[in-house]
Structure 1
């Protein structure tokens, strides 16, 4: 059995929606294959299964629970009924274990010909087996990435396993009939056609290396010595003019190769899906980008912020595709920042093909020692993952570069973004950008109200909710439902670090707004965090952590309880603080509110230069404002 490490076999899971009213017909056709599986005709298939999922299954509690079980159920679910699984349409699920790349397996499925049409013909969007590209694209878009891979022989191909079985049978027959044989005769009789693993490994091409000169510097360095930042949010008004403008900006973007020089200022460029479209990137390339990126954060906020969605959002992020480009500037001080900011702001005009629709300033706030704090008063930016072999930043988990840079090996041994348009994404990263307003007076009032049972008073409550003391020291043991444990469970969940390391991010945020000193009354000013995270997979890293760890308590045994900084609060909202004694903290309202955000692509430098060249739009063509 293999869990979470690179193997030569891959698990494949594909969910294809069945047209309404056709599930029974699909099930009947599958029964015809019970004794003659079409997968048996395909090379490299260890296991395959087709299942029609037609109805949601409601989770029910047992009719009789022990007293202890009832108490645990009450603590976990607060007396609420279990949530039903929501499945509004029937689906055909295919699970398989195959040799090599799943994309190659999808191509081999086409060899099933009419049998493939019989199996998937009633699934919405199925194009038939006639043309390879639409056929394989149908499966690629509906494939889910597995969190775990279980295989009896994870390092053996189908051919090798069959050879091994044959060898065992031959050896058994030989042992039964021969009493004496030389070593040479034994080798001649039992030599297999498959070369040993060491020979195969020597012929495999090594994965491509990271080229710092082609990667935007923000990926490899957090610029801890940069005290100030400014973000310009731009809208493209003319594709051709914007490409010319982008060419000039690209020449000033800080690359990772510049990092040893410790630049006094840095510039990085992120482009949203709408921005790529307005620059004239062909639709075929746009369609190959991840679903999360294509839809944009505005369309996905209902699942990222359950119960709130985009209701609290403000300009410039007050609509889908509202921001096309973000310029991220940072510097050691205002004197280094302002000249570049003024020039970029001046160049971003309709005459240059872009228009400034928003501007956001950020400033680091010094904390204890050499740390920086966020507005709730805690040291921030700690326990960052490190990129294996690159950069100095980070003290946490060491991860392969493909977790953050597309086109390189990731934690599963796959090439990150293998199926994405390479010319557009190679050496790039996905940027999660969220403006998070923090209600500091409400946080302080909440911790004061709950301070009674705690020896350290309000500071003890705050530390229990966050999982750290204000100076950054981790609590021991770290409370299971605390913010830092939810954001990175480490080895506290089944699967341990092999699971959690698949969902980590590089965080590059900076506070905005004035600091409110302890004891000061509410000044009515907005303050918060400009949350920036870099990932190679938006769904597996950011969205998984946000929806499964921060917005849902089930995996931590907390039922519907959300993270203290994710919950909308209100009547009945409370957080269980484990300890001696355990206590509940009531959360009267939201402590952190997302005011807007977007998913951006931080292209590699080569891709930025290519985007600035002529694409498909005619000179002078203008985009809708």
Structure 2
């Protein structure tokens, strides 16, 4: 059964408590497999023209109503704090947003540990100097559907004035939905309470809706603080957008250096990711890949690490285990459920090829790491500081995430074993940051409110 088929099977409208018809569909709607799409970055030069475009685009943004049903293509709209300011929102609203969002991703580089080759001054122009005001994302099941929705969005942009297109990037993956390194991605997604879908048997419990949707109760029992006025904040969410160039050749070279044959290289890669390339988790298939398991949405996420306390099956430092410890005992205590995120990452460039080396890598592969959360900025800064670029919470000192960590000096990867653990040296930065921004994804009604300059009529 496909991922979407599995969702439809578990959906019951009687369980819905969220205002799905006001939430942007992209928040809950999963990518199709295969998928294609485009990200477009816009800069607002004139407030009235920008608001006019937002009003036009709002008519093309589908809601989350029917989010488990098939849809050939859909558009999502997110706006940065600099963008909201450029659109003319009043100071009271602008100041009601979280401080990190007000400052923007580049200004938060110290908190994100974006330094050296990942520092903001090295980013692509579209993401520098608060240039990115509006981000449009289109996901589609095929090129024809992508072109259909893209033409509608571009027609609205051409009809508007005072808005400049400053960058676009197409992306896509086949039915295996693999990332640039050849691993199936975006498997682990939280179940959002009140969205109408119950967890798979054996999956983690549903997470309070307020962890993802503003205005709903969070895991703490009350809503997370949201922007004012209510029409602006309610049913929206926050988005982290980070564009990475994936150094696939360097990763392949590393595996070849430490693995004498394909099987040994694949085993080491699985230890570093926490899954085999099919998506099968080490915890359920420790010794070899299992294509059927990896492709089964009812089984490939049905596990915890509670029976692997020593990390003998899946290393504590594996990328997947760091990003979702699933009941692991952590030295630095934290509520793992308030760090859950909805992933909408997208891969671009050629498919993974075992024979690519650093010398022959064209640098044209990568991914947009995109996630949605009501606590997005606290979460990404926590992840970057603790779970990605440190190892203290695992008693591993300064050991960093082997896949997305910044390694300005060659690092190491620890593989627990008995009687003696193994340390693999020579980890480098396999994903280089090329830009990013903190964004706000308003509700459908908020898009329309922004589009008509609703605060002006209220003042």
Q: Where on the TM-score scale, by shorter chain, does this alignment land: which range?
A: 0.7 to 0.9
Structure 2 Cα separation of the partners of residues 518 and 251 of structure 1 = 44
Q: Following TM superposition, by how much is the alpha carbon of 1:505 offset from its aligned partner in structure 2, in angstroms?
A: 0.4
2:276 aligned residue: 469
Alignment match, 1:329: 138
TM-score normalised by the chain length of structure 2? 0.82
Distance in 2 between the 1:351 and 1:249 partners?
11
| Structure 1 match to 2:300 | none
| Cα contact 2:33–2:175 (8 A) shared by 1 | no
Q: Paired residue for 2:128? A: 318
Matches of 1:612 and 1:594 in 2, distance apart?
Answer: 32
Distance in 2 (alpha carbons) for counterparts of 1:455 and 1:525 = 23
The answer (yes or no) to whether the contact 1:429–1:601 under 8 Å persists in 2 is yes
Q: State the match for 1:27 in structure 2.
A: none
Counterpart in the other structure of 1:512: 348
Question: Which residue pairs with 1:230 in the alignment?
Answer: 38
Matches within 5 A, 1:135-284: 209-225=17-33, 227-259=35-67, 261-284=69-92
State how far apart, in whole Å, the 1-side matches of 2:229 and 2:33 are.
35
Tell me the SS of whatever aligns to 1:299.
Answer: helix
Q: Secondary structure at the match of 1:472?
A: coil
- Would the alpha carbon gap of residues 539 and 260 (structure 1) be closer, same or farther in structure 2, given more than 3 Å must change? closer
Structure 2 residue 253 is matched with structure 1 residue 460: no
Match of residue 416 from structure 2: 578
Report the counterpart of residue 111 of structure 1 in structure 2: none
User: Aligned ranges for residues 67-86 of structure 1 at < 5 Å?
Assistant: none
Q: What residue in structure 2 maps to residue 605 of structure 1?
A: 444
Matched, 1:483 2:291: no
Deviation, 1:418, is 5.0
1:402 aligns with 2:240: no
Q: Give secondary structure in 2 for the equivalent of 1:399.
A: coil
Offset, 1:362: 0.9
Q: Are 1:338 and 2:147 an aligned pair?
A: yes
CA distance in 1, matches of 2:363, 2:389: 27
Change (3 A) 1:498 1:471: same
Contact residue 343 and residue 370 of structure 2 kept, 8 A: yes
Using a 3 Å threshold, how does the CA distance of structure 1 residues 226 and 286 change in structure 2: closer, same or farther? farther
Deviation at 1:260, TM superposition (A): 5.0
Distance 1:568 1:260, change over 3 A: closer
Give 1:337 shift: 1.1
- Contact persistence 1:365–1:374 (CA under 8 A): no
In the alignment, is the contact (CA less than 8 A) between 1:469 and 1:475 conserved in 2? yes
Q: Which residue of 2 aligns with 1:449?
A: 257
Whole-angstrom CA distance in 1 between matches of 2:198 and 2:384: 24
**Aligned residue number for residue 589 of structure 1:** 428
Cα distance in 1 for partners of 2:90, 2:332 equals: 42
Between the aligned partners of 2:372 and 2:97, the Cα distance in structure 1 is 16
* RMSD of aligned residue pairs (Cα, Å): 2.6
Q: Does 1:565 align with 2:411?
A: no
Matched residues in 2 for 1:235 and 1:386: separation?
34
- Give CA-to-partner distance per residue, 1:463-487, whole Å, 9 cap, x none: 1111112222222332111111110
Query: Which secondary structure does the structure 1 equivalent of 2:383 belong to?
Result: helix
- TM superposition shift of 1:424: 1.3
Structure 2 residue aligned with 1:11: none
Q: Secondary structure at the match of 2:53?
A: helix
Cα contact 1:490–1:496 (8 A) shared by 2:
no
Distance in 1 of aligned mates of 2:135 and 2:262: 46
Tell me which residue corresponds to 2:187: 382
**Are the equivalent residues in 2 in contact too, given 1:349–1:356 (CA < 8 A)?**
no
Contact 1:349–1:355 (CA under 8 A) maintained in structure 2: no
Deviates more, 1:396-405 or 1:565-574: 565-574
Counterpart in 1 of 2:8?
none
Taking a change above 3 Å as real, the CA distance of residues 382 and 215 of structure 1, as seen in their structure-2 partners, is: same
Relative distance call for 1:285 and 1:389 in structure 2 (3 A) is closer
State TM-score, norm by structure 1. Answer: 0.61
CA deviations 1:339-380 (Å, max 9, x no partner) are: 32134224325952211000011102333xxxx211111111
2:163 corresponds to which of 354, 360, 374: 354
Query: Larger relative contact order (C-alpha < 8 A, sep ≥ 6)?
Result: 2
CA shift for structure 1 position 405 = 0.3
Q: CA deviation at 1:333?
A: 0.7
Count of residues in Structure 1 that have an aligned counterpart in Structure 2: 405
Note closer, same or farther for the CA distance 1:316–1:552 as it changes in structure 2 (3 Å cut): same
Unaligned runs of 5+ in 1: 1-207, 619-625
Task: Report the equivalent of 2:336.
Answer: 500
| SS of residue matched to 2:122 | coil
Q: Distance in 2 between matches of 1:301 and 1:388?
A: 33
Deviations 1:265-315 (A, max 9, x none): 101110110111111110111111001110111111233235332243112
1:300: which partner in 2?
108
Cα separation, partners in 2 of 1:239 and 1:576, compared to 1, 3 Å: same
1:117-155 residue CA offsets vs partner (Å, 9 max, x unmatched): xxxxxxxxxxxxxxxxxxxxxxxxxxxxxxxxxxxxxxx
Query: CA contact under 8 A between 1:405 and 1:427: conserved in structure 2?
Result: yes
